[in-house]
Amino acid sequence: MVSKMTPATMDRREAVRNLLEQRDGALVVTGLGSSSYDVHAAGDADNNYYLWGAMGGAALVGLGIAQAQPSKRVMVITGDGEQLMAFGSLATISVAAPRNLDIIILDNQHFGETGMQQSHTGSGINFASVAAVCGFSDTGLFHSIVDVNKLCETLKAPAKGPRLYVLKVKAENITRSLPPRDATFIKNRFRAHLGHLPC
């Protein structure tokens, strides 16, 4: 679960854009901070569920949506710092065993929202290995856009259980692309996309 470190050189915005261009109708949940900005920068959409708060909640929100919408694929796009706040969520997701949940971790090996301090992944913690030990049906650690393009094809294939993939991205502060901040609006828009009345 601890890996030898290699430099992270992937462009995060390009990686996320490629994922979303080939999302094939997947519902997307974003983690707090940069992953929300990355998804919004690729194009706002009614089936994007942005989390402005609740750090560490993205994977479990994704699990809840996956359980409520078993006919739809759910893709969580979050960061290493956000996922570190919910380390135990990987065990919960593995036990729940949804076949329609994919977790993508954008790993820059730093806490980007609090000053770019090195995160645990910068010391070798490997989320792909952790997820594999927990019992995820497929995991992977990727370092290039070529890898991401191959991953997009993998994501289109039916899964036997939850999947988790780590994309090693450059540690940099990119201009923020801010999604709507109104949580009620985001929730109601997402519900409407699914055919539910606002609440």
Tell me the pLDDT tens digit for each residue of 155-172. Answer: 999 999 999 999 999 888
pLDDT, mean over the chain? 90
Q: How do the domains of the chain map onto residue ranges?
A: 12-193
Options 2.30.38.10, 3.40.50.970, 3.30.460.20, 3.40.1390.10; CATH of 12-193:
3.40.50.970
pLDDT band at 110, cuts 50/70/90? low
Evaluate if residue 120 carries a pLDDT over 80: no
Evaluate if residue 122 carries a pLDDT over 70: no
Cα–Cα distances in angstroms (integers) from residue 87 to residues 33, 35, 52, 104, 146, in the given order: 18, 18, 19, 14, 28
Provide DSSP, 31-77: -TTHHHHHHHHT---TTEEE-SS-TT-HHHHHHHHHHH-TTS-EEEE
Summarize the confidence of residues 54-62 as an average pLDDT: 93
